[in-house]
Amino acid sequence: MELLNSSPPSLPKPTGNTHLCSGPSNFRRRSCHNEVPALPQLPEIAEEAGFKVHVAVGKKKTDKAVSLIQWVCRNFGNSEICILHVHQPSPLIPTLLGRLPACQANPEVVSAFRNEEREVMRKLVNSYLSICCRLKVKASIITLEADQIKKGIVDMVNEHKIRKLVIGAIPDCRKEKRSSRKASYAEQNAPSFCEIIFVNKGKLVFTRQATGFNSNSAVAQSPVCLPLPDSNSAFEEESLSEQLRESELESESSRNEVIAEIFKCNRLEAEAAETMKTKTWEGAPVRESALRKEVELSHRTMIKEQDKDLKEKEEMTRKLHMTMRSIAILDTHAQETNCRYKDIAGELRLIQTSIATLQKEKQKVQKQKDEARWRCCGKVWGVGSRDLVQFSISDLQIATCHFSESFKIGVGGYGAVYKGELLDRTVAIKKLNPYYMQSQSDFLQHVQILGKLNHPHLVTLLGLCTEDWYLVYEYMPGRNLRDHLLHKSSITWKNRLHIVAQIAKGLLFLHTSNPEKIVHGNLKPENILLDSYNSCKICDFGISKLFPNQTLHCPSFRRQSVSKGAFSYTDPEFHISGSLTTKSDIYSFGLIILQMLTGRSPEGLSREVRKAISCRNLEPILDSSAGDWSAFVARRLAGLGLSCCELNSRDRPELTPSLVQELDQLHTLEERVVPSFFLCPIFQELMYDPRVAADGFTYEGEAIRGWLESGRDTSPMTNLTLSHLDLTPNPSLRLAIQCWISNSH
């Protein structure tokens, strides 16, 4: 490792006869001409305490820069190290439009980019500072922003009066000036009082000694040059002149060598260019031949690929034609299959219809056989088309184990019902309460009328006991409608619609019977029995006729006959007039419709449904256990149920065959396009009670009444004031709607 000594700067000329200090070579050269007294030996000047060594580093942390810092720390570890860095701002600013000059870019973008550059610079110099800290060397930092790094280094030397500067250089920076522009510029332009040390890869390359001194520098830091005696002045001048001539000769020789080298380089470059040109011309035919072969090969390859593509295209075309033919054949087969499917579906429907007809015929024949067997086995009572079988009290006791409680299946104000076995058939035996009964003759006369009633949706009366007040009915093994609604059984809305239609058919049969109409008088979900196919039959019809009217109004009878919640199904007019009519059954039927629609308790149900319809928000109150209700069917059932539940019996509809047929076919009406003049202008639904208002337009009765009852006196269509609020029925339109409904199939 080389030890560096400070190069002593020259002192100011002393008064009198002073001389410059010369090096050892000069002394030797002078000794050849004349002997001179030997100069006293100059002492080696050490670094003073607090002396700073400045080292210049670049903008990238390279191995050279790190080794430069380490070299300075090793050789000047006793002094304070000051790291110099000149930051050169980038002239181009990166933007979304590319890299733009700083003068053309947005000032905010320029400022942000400059801050990022300074942050990178701070991290760089801090990393150099950390190296000094690891080597336990006291260090500091000086930075400067300048457009030219080399000029910035010189400015920092002048500004901070730097006396010792270490800078990186190539191995021979004095000869290769182009490769070390910053080092060369610093050597040539730095002030003379600054000693510059050039280091490369941890080794000293060159030292530019300080030849001047700073006005602030101490004399103690410069070595003392002793003056020579006056007798040697001439000799020294001659020696200096000789040295000057030798330097000029050496300089001229070096200049000639450089010029010769330049001419030699130019000649070699010309020869190399000529050689390259010759080689290029000589290799042109070879390259042309190679290119021609390459083009021919590419052409042949392209032709092969085109032929291959053409063959693939022909193959794909052939396959496409075959596929199209196959599709045409398959389409023909599909059409034939579709036709066969339609034929088979028609045949299947015909077979199903035939099977249903045969089953009905079979049931009818079986029923006739059972009745015939009953008439043969039992004692026939009465005269008529359907004679009843007469049983003795002992027969009924044997059938019910003396009317055991385990055989009891129901109880009410009319009496108790027992399950029993008579003539190898399961029957239901109803024991009437004799305390409230009419005379025996009236009882037998009315029972004979009930025995003649025969309908698919009425429970059949099979026999009676004339010794006591007993009636024998067919047994229905399923549960009643109340149990299904109470336990939310999975009866779909379509099945519920069929049940409503079947109840309507049974009631229509009772209300149109001859010689007199039969009033049920106690219609409620408990008296509607369902089988396993959800087909219903009405029971307890006509029983009220077996009791006198005063009995029906008796408080004790009403407490026994009316079960919990059943009071809601009773016609309100019955409590006033005391008489039961067919409109009483219509009221109960309407409540049953609303209960099947909503699955809710009958108390206040009509008011709740009416409010939902007026708010056009019926869906939330529908029974979700029935599935997704058809909006058309739900609105029609709700409207029919509300019209049946009118408090005034005159406002309730009559149960007619057309109404029953409409209920039976209601699920199919939505699929047909309803004529526009059949729709209510307010509800936009099929009208069942068309009424003409004073404006000449026809509306659904419920809709226009709700319009007028809300306090309006204007037309819903024209918004003009109505001349009167009377509503006139439109029977011709009602008949046309009923005919359209009847022809729905």
CATH topology of domain 672-745: Herpes Virus-1 (3.30.40)
Q: Residue 167 has what DSSP assignment? A: E
pLDDT, residue 214, reads: 44
Main-chain dihedrals φ then ψ at residue 474, nearest 5 degrees = -65, 150
Cis amide bond preceding 515, omega within 30: yes
Q: Identify the burial level of 715 via C-beta atoms within 10 angstroms of its C-beta, where 0-12 means exposed, 13-18 middle and 19 or more buried.
A: middle
Q: How does DSSP assign 676-745, residue by residue?
A: GGGB-TTT-SB-SSEEE-TTS-EEEHHHHHHHHHTT--B-TTT-PBPS----EE-HHHHHHHHHHHHTT-
Structure tokens at 331: 């389409």
Cβ density class 185-197: b for 16+ within 10 Å, e for less:
bbbeebeebbbbb
pLDDT, residue 609, reads: 92
Helix (H, G, I), strand (E, B) or coil at 59: coil
pLDDT, residue 229, reads: 39
Measure the CA dihedral 580/650/602/680, to 10°. Answer: 150
Per-domain residue ranges for the chain?
A: 46-227, 281-373, 378-475, 479-653, 672-745
Sign of CA dihedral 490, 494, 495, 500: positive
Return all residues near 549 (Cβ < 8 A) that are at least 6 apart.
578, 579
Q: How does DSSP assign 565-603, residue by residue?
A: TGGGGS-TTHHHH----HHHHHHHHHHHHHHHHH---ST
CATH of region 378-475: 3.30.200.20
Reported pTM: 0.47
pLDDT, residue 189, reads: 85
pLDDT, residue 238, reads: 67
pLDDT, residue 551, reads: 52
Instruction: Using only the alpha carbons of the chain, give its radius of gyration.
Output: 63
Q: Residue 230 has what DSSP assignment? A: G
Contact 676, 711 (CB under 8 A): no
How large is the angle between the packed helices 631-644 and 605-614, nearest 10 degrees?
Answer: 130
For the chain, how many residues are written?
A: 745
Contact 102, 129 (CB under 8 A): no
Contact 408, 418 (CB under 8 A): yes
Q: Where are the beta strands (DSSP E) in 424-556?
A: 425-432, 461-465, 470-474, 528-530, 536-538
Q: Report d(CA 545, CA 525) in Å as an integer.
A: 20
Contact 79, 53 (CB under 8 A): yes
Q: Report d(CA 546, CA 445) in Å as an integer.
A: 10
Q: Report d(CA 745, CA 738) in Å as an integer.
A: 13
Residues of the chain with pLDDT under 50: 1-50, 173-179, 214-232, 383-385, 550, 556-557, 559-560, 562-565, 745
Structure tokens at 712: 């309006």
Return all residues near 707 (Cβ < 8 A) that are at least 6 apart.
682, 699, 716
How large is the angle between the packed helices 493-511 and 582-598, nearest 10 degrees?
Answer: 180
Q: CA angle, corner 638, sides to 635 and 642, nearest 5?
A: 140
Q: Report d(CA 712, CA 616) in Å as an integer.
A: 18
Helix (H, G, I), strand (E, B) or coil at 389: strand
Q: Residue 619 has what DSSP assignment? A: G
* Domain with residues 479-653, CATH architecture: Orthogonal Bundle (1.10)
User: What counts of helices (H) and strands (E) characterise the chain?
Assistant: 20, 20
Q: How does DSSP assign 264-313, residue by residue?
A: HHHHHHHHHHHHHHHHHHHHHHHHHHHHHHHHHHHHHHHHHHHHHHHHHH
Give 661-675 pLDDT, tens digit per residue: 888 888 776 656 678
User: Which stretches of 452-581 are DSSP H helices?
Assistant: 481-486, 493-511, 549-552, 555-561, 574-577
Cβ density class 368-385: b for 16+ within 10 Å, e for less:
eebbeebeeebeebbeee
pLDDT, residue 567, reads: 54
pLDDT, residue 44, reads: 34
Residue 431 labeled ligand binder: yes
Q: Which residues pair with 415 in a beta bridge?
A: 432
Residue found by looking up tokens 């009791």 in the block: 547
Structure tokens at 181: 């522009």
Average pLDDT, the chain: 78
Q: How far is CA 21 from CA 9, 227, 466, 658, in A?
A: 10, 8, 166, 143
pLDDT, residue 66, reads: 87
CATH of region 46-227: 3.40.50.620
Give 293-317 pLDDT, tens digit per residue: 888 898 899 999 999 999 999 999 9
- Please name which of 517, 524, 541, 557 lies closest in space to residue 437, comparing C-alpha atoms: 557
Helix (H, G, I), strand (E, B) or coil at 656: coil
Q: How far is CA 31 from CA 20, 34, 37, 244, 697, in A?
A: 17, 5, 10, 17, 146
Contact 45, 219 (CB under 8 A): no
Q: Residue 219 has what DSSP assignment? A: G
pLDDT, residue 236, reads: 59
Q: How many CB atoms lie within 10 A of CB 234?
A: 10
Structure tokens at 665: 């076919």
pLDDT, residue 15, reads: 34
